[in-house]
């Protein structure tokens, strides 16, 4: 089974941004709970033999900071890493974004972004590099996994009451959407036809919702449409 490292953003001592009501929690507190829910969903999917299931382990930055968390994730054998945050800015700022740095992480970012937008229904701010998003913050976090996908999710703005209401109400939906999108993507990335990986971002429908979750039987030939309009 593929292994996904969940890295909880910030630390107990320096817990990051604080979300307004109805959340009323720091990034570290809210995302510690979110990670626990994501792991529980992943474990249930694995027990049920779900073909897209992943093994999940949670890593914190409390011991050794960013470098320590990712070192332990690599030692565990993580195939990919997803670091959990939420955004903060002026009250009017709204929406979902996903950060990536390396080319190998871009497809994973696109899949998680689409799943997150579908789960929360907030504005799609797209996938971004740390430089494009915030002058480079997060680049060190996203440089720790070598050739393996490593992304950072900012599902909503903790500074926006409407975003917080959506994230509070749909927290479990968010957890399930991200963990299942990650599982589907990682299983396709490492086991499947390379065309399947290339097709995943365009297999999402116009509102960003996954068009399908079913795994194609290996003996079912199918036509794939590459990025752009090129015919196979």
- The least distance separating Zn ion from the CB of residue 87, rounded to whole angstroms, comes to 8
- In the bound state with Zn ion, the residue whose beta carbon lies nearer, of 9 and 183, is 9
Provide the binding-site residues for Zn ion, judged by CB under 5 A: 9, 16, 27, 85
Residue 172: other Cβ atoms inside 10 A:
14
Q: Which residue number is nearest to Zn ion in terms of Cβ? A: 85
Please give the structure tokens belonging to residue 141: 């976090």
The span from the CA of 141 to the CA of 102, in Å, is 11
- The least distance separating Zn ion from the CB of residue 172, rounded to whole angstroms, comes to 21
Beta-bridge partners for 47: none
Burial class (CB in 10 A: 0-12, 13-18, 19+), 38: buried
Instruction: Give the DSSP letter string of 29-60.
Output: HHHHHHHHHHHHHHHHHHHTT-TT--EEEEE-
Cβ pair 142, 152 in contact under 8 A = yes
- The least distance separating Zn ion from the CB of residue 98, rounded to whole angstroms, comes to 13
- The least distance separating Zn ion from the CB of residue 219, rounded to whole angstroms, comes to 45
Beta-bridge partners for 56: 4
- The least distance separating Zn ion from the CB of residue 77, rounded to whole angstroms, comes to 26
Beta-bridge partners for 157: 87
- The least distance separating Zn ion from the CB of residue 182, rounded to whole angstroms, comes to 19
The span from the CA of 222 to the CA of 211, in Å, is 15
Please give the structure tokens belonging to residue 216: 């194609």
């Amino acid at each position: 089974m593929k292994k996904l490292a969940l890295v909880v953003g910030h630390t107990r001592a320096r817990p990051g941004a604080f979300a307004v009501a109805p959340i009323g929690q720091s990034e570290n507190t809210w995302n510690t709970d979110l990670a626990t829910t994501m792991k529980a969903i992943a474990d249930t999917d694995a027990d049920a033999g779900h073909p897209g299931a992943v093994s999940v382990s949670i890593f914190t930055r409390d011991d050794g900071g960013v470098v320590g968390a990712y070192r332990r994730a690599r030692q565990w054998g993580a195939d990919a890493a997803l670091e959990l945050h939420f955004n903060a800015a002026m009250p009017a700022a709204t929406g979902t974004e996903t950060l990536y740095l390396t080319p190998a992480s871009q497809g994973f970012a696109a899949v998680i972004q689409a799943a997150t937008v579908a789960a929360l229904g907030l504005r799609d701010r797209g996938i971004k590099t740390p430089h494009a998003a915030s002058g480079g913050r997060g680049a060190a976090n996203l440089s720790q996994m070598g050739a393996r996908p490593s992304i950072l999710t900012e599902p909503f703005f903790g500074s926006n009451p409407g975003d917080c209401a959506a994230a509070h109400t749909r927290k479990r939906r968010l957890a399930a959407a991200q963990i299942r999108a990650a599982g589907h993507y990682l299983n396709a990335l490492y086991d499947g036809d390379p065309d399947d990986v290339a097709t995943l971002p365009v297999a999402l429908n116009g509102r960003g919702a996954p068009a399908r979750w079913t795994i194609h039987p290996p003996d079912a030939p199918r036509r794939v449409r590459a990025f752009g309009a090129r015919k196979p």
